[in-house]
Structure 1
């Protein structure tokens, strides 16, 4: 028997928002999904999933950290090996929640820290963990009036310092894959055009912004393609002044939502998913307290005050200011089903196919021949039972 060719059988596949009863073949040697004509070949190892659901491996677009690791703390410890250990721990936790690829979000830090942190976040793989796909820099080109938990003293305008001087040209070419900025800042529109010309692989997203709808349209015309945690850290949707949230209706940009049950009301989640099911993206916005016990936790360089964790809700001590979330991506999927009544495949699409389309990932995020054999095996409730990367099982639930 050729153990390099496998087939999931007696299963349902998540394909474009629908559950499809179909076998799926993949090669462990090539690490890719293969065409189904291999059913004629002798010796295929068939894995009976007993009606379980096969999803593409989840893609985590905006974690700031988890399991005690905050990405702003990298390059400040005991050197490269310490950073590698921290990232390995994150990659393993991601895999345990069905994630097979993730981008590390670095929120606003002191201007001198960017060049220290970003080189540690170049794309790479980890043993038995999800792949790091690069960095998302959320700042410092954001509006102080919508800073959220970002440190106002670190914010700058595009006219004050260039991206190459701030992040480093090498990091812009190798590590940075997504930049969130506020388009209303002086020089921001010109910056978007410059970034698209010099670093066309970088996705520009609008967020932490008080921009008007028209300012958002101008940014999109220059190449911006997304909205970062829509409704949060931006002006509210008004029937005469729609703001950035109004761009969801254009069909021309993706938009992420924090689906932890705290940042958005369930009815707003429904609005977002129904507005454009192929452009809606789920994110966790998780911070380092994800996977940690509830209670008061110390601050750090970005959040000098103590942090109060209560389930998924984390606030600056003594305030109602949300710092981020402690939600996991599989929890976001289950929340979407509970909040909106959508089917599981529709929710899965928002953490797989839609993110792959946004980020230009042609080898991930879809169950198509030639794409990576990255899978999350789910039960009917959306609980992750197994995670597979490049055709090999890297995690399995002990309760499966």
Structure 2
């Protein structure tokens, strides 16, 4: 079936463009042209599907609890139903066997729709900044993790590893960087000098800015200030719980480049699933929009990427085009992937449609397969 979509705004090449017509043939986009009249559908926004680089679970399942291909597929489907068309599944601090099983699962689903690779968050963290991670499973960077990453990279997967750089042996850190994995600083007590040294050593990303790191003070800028003042990309959780809107605005305003900050959900099993899940033998519940463990620590987030876009736009005053970039083009760039739409207008990936409230339109109005 042929169809023409004439959105109020179409996200192309980093900008929201009015007056365009999206030509759809079956489930494929064939052209983007100037609109000459009304189309069959007129959503408010036509945009690439969101890309989420930190997804611990969804649809009632957690990767750590069941590190299998079916878990990864369930997670991807749950987030796709909420407008996120590709995820970087995240396995957090655990026993080597669990992390290896997650790696096996990621290799098996490599190339399937919605799968971007694997994010290994921990276990090489600072105990003082462990957050919800099990301190008994935290250990220094070792060859066990290096072997797992090398196996993933040999299989052609994109890999992100979150660690505390100040606790990593420099020689092992250099070997990890050399694998081509994206090494990200997170759950760290690094000071500003240690952070800058890590960036020089190849740490090229920062995990959920503000959270699980030393707070910034007048005489102790820490990794937080070193990151904000650098061009190193960082992810940030925009649920209004992990980071106050004013602090988010400060971080973005102080950056030398605006295209170096992106949104992550840090989603757990409750996103697209029930209101509780088990982690490390504890039951985590959604309480007033937050996920909290028995110790009172935040245990991931109960948010999806489209809600994150709405939040930074409405609560932090970020222009909508930038908010969309933070959930699409920028995270893809962190992974070394091209934008979902090239400057020529060539369409490379899935698109979604939003109403005037920036909510996802019904599934039968979403184009899922792009040329």
State the Cα distance separating 1:134 from its structure 2 match.
0.8
Question: What's the TM-score, normalizing by structure 1?
Answer: 0.81
State the Cα distance separating 1:373 from its structure 2 match.
3.8
Which whole-Å CA distance do the structure 1 matches of 2:149 and 2:253 have between them?
A: 39
Q: How many residues align?
A: 364
Equivalent of 2:210, from 212, 217, 231?
231
Matches within 5 A, 1:1-400: 3=2, 8-15=5-12, 18-23=15-20, 25=22, 36=33, 47-50=39-42, 52-75=44-67, 83-122=68-107, 124=110, 131-158=114-141, 160-165=142-147, 167=148, 169-174=150-155, 175-187=157-169, 189-197=170-178, 199-200=179-180, 202-276=181-255, 277-294=258-275, 297=276, 299-300=278-279, 303-317=280-294, 319-362=295-338, 364=340, 369-385=345-361, 386-391=365-370
User: SS of the counterpart of 1:62?
Assistant: strand
The gaps in structure 2 that reach 5 residues or longer are none
Is contact 1:249-1:275 (8 Å) kept?
yes
Rate the CA distance shift 1:241–1:51 in 2: closer, same or farther, 3 A.
Answer: same
Which whole-Å CA distance do the structure 2 matches of 1:36 and 1:181 have between them?
A: 46
Which whole-Å CA distance do the structure 2 matches of 1:219 and 1:24 have between them?
A: 47
Is contact 2:118-2:160 (8 Å) kept?
yes
Does 112-121 or 268-277 show the bigger shift? 268-277
State the Cα distance separating 1:378 from its structure 2 match.
1.2
State the Cα distance separating 1:178 from its structure 2 match.
0.7
State the Cα distance separating 1:327 from its structure 2 match.
0.7
Rate the CA distance shift 1:186–1:120 in 2: closer, same or farther, 3 A.
Answer: closer
Is contact 1:192-1:219 (8 Å) kept?
no
Is contact 2:13-2:345 (8 Å) kept?
no
Tell me how large the CA RMSD over aligned residues is.
2.9
Match of 1:80 in 2: none
Which whole-Å CA distance do the structure 2 matches of 1:237 and 1:331 have between them?
A: 27
Is contact 1:353-1:366 (8 Å) kept?
no
Which whole-Å CA distance do the structure 1 matches of 2:199 and 2:137 have between them?
A: 26
Rate the CA distance shift 1:380–1:299 in 2: closer, same or farther, 3 A.
Answer: same
Does 266-275 or 98-107 show the bigger shift? 266-275
Question: What's the TM-score, normalizing by structure 2?
Answer: 0.87
Deviations 1:112-163 (A, max 9, x none): 322222110135455xxx51111000011111111111111111112x4353
Rate the CA distance shift 1:93–1:9 in 2: closer, same or farther, 3 A.
Answer: same
Is contact 2:9-2:46 (8 Å) kept?
yes
The gaps in structure 1 that reach 5 residues or longer are 41-45, 76-82, 393-400
